[in-house]
Amino acid sequence: MKVINTISELRAELSLHRADGKTIGLVPTMGALHNGHLSLVHRCVAGNDITVVSIFVNPTQFNDKNDLANYPRNLSADCALLEQADVDIVFAPEVSEMYPEPDNRVFDFHPLDSVMEGPFRPGHFNGVAQIVSKLFYAVEPDAAYFGEKDFQQLAIIRNMVQQLNLKINIVGCPIVREPDGLAMSSRNMLLTAEERERALIISRTLFDSLRFAADNTLDDTKSYVEDKINAVNGFRLEYFSIVNGYTLQPVSNWDDADYIVGCIALFCGNIRLIDNIKYKEVE
Ligand code: PAF
């Protein structure tokens, strides 16, 4: 496994593989890797000749300076995991490599970015689009892998690929959960033991709501989740939205779409967690 820090070295290395007719897959990450990331890596390794994993804590997508400062970083542990997973190249650039100049590009994802995370994290998706497009230009992958835990991010990246006419297969991969149900996240390691215990209520409530939804209206299901979460001391709910899984726009009846997902964001103490659940999905 090669660890590369510059775009020029990355391009030189990848052009050799491309000349050999090899396919290239990319897994963009911000490091602090867990089994959720590794599930993306395994899919990528299985589906491509060459797997590139990028590790870069992207400053332009953090709307909160403390969140950026506290974001967990552990490059050597990450590289050990990636080596075991048969990754070919780790791309771990410095901020000055990715942003030699400030990136002033403004993307328009309306209405995908006007809902859910949008109002709570102004500029977040623009920053994600800035870095992911730069990574796409640097790697020119055949396929790129993203987790469905960041459900809105995945929809926005698919949209960005269309807007930019890129020929990259965007592969969404299912949420990976801890044995007790908590969705895996690099932020979980920032939770105190007590918060970690409490955080379990999130996935439990979403799974309970799946059963509740079977004989109740969409509005009642939404209230069911909101009431349960609001009743927990130490939680601060930002939103729970039940949306069309393609357009991300809220739906009001179970018949309104054939793909319906409930997305939640809340603070557990000072740590912001997100999760989602599929109520209805087309095969
Ligand atoms: O999902 C993430 O970890 C990040 O948003 C991404 C896609 C690596 C861009 O920095």
28 CA → ligand 1 middle, Å: 6
pLDDT given at position 43: 98
Chain segment 20-78, per-residue pLDDT in tens: 999 999 999 999 999 999 999 999 999 999 999 999 999 999 988 998 999 999 999 99
Q: Which residue CA neighbors atom 8 of ligand 1 most closely?
A: 29
Residue nearest to atom 2 of ligand 1 (CA): 29
Mean local confidence (pLDDT), 197-206? 98
Cα-to-centroid distance, 227 and ligand 1 (Å): 31
**186-276 CATH pick, 3.30.1300.10, 3.30.70.260, 3.40.50.11860, 3.40.47.10:** 3.30.1300.10
| Nearest residue to 156 via CA among 135, 123, 128 | 128
- Residue 232: per-residue pLDDT: 98
Q: Is 42 a catalytic residue?
A: no
**Residue 98 — pLDDT band, cuts 50, 70, 90?**
very high
**Average pLDDT along the chain:** 97
Name the H helices within the chain. Answer: 7-19, 35-47, 65-70, 75-84, 95-98, 117-120, 124-139, 151-163, 193-213, 218-230
What is the CATH number assigned to the segment(s) 2-173?
3.40.50.620
Quote the ligand 1 centre to 72 CA distance (angstroms): 14
DSSP secondary structure string for all residues of 118-142: HHHSTTHHHHHHHHHHHHHHHH--S
Give residue-wise pLDDT tens across range 126-181: 999 999 999 999 999 999 999 999 999 999 999 999 999 999 999 999 999 999 99
Amino acid 25: pLDDT: 99
- Sequence spans of domains, the chain: 2-173, 186-276
Average pLDDT over residues 103-114: 98
Peptide bond into 174 cis (omega under 30): no
Pocket mutation for ligand 1, best pick of 37, 61, 117 (most atoms within 8 Å of C-beta): 61
- Kindly give, in sequence order, each residue whose CB lies less than 8 Å from that of residue 276, ignoring residues fewer than 6 positions away: 148, 149, 151, 175, 206, 261, 262, 263, 264
Amino acid at 113: D
| Percent of the chain scoring above 90 in pLDDT | 98
Catalytic residue among 37, 42, 110, 124: 37
pLDDT, position 282: 79
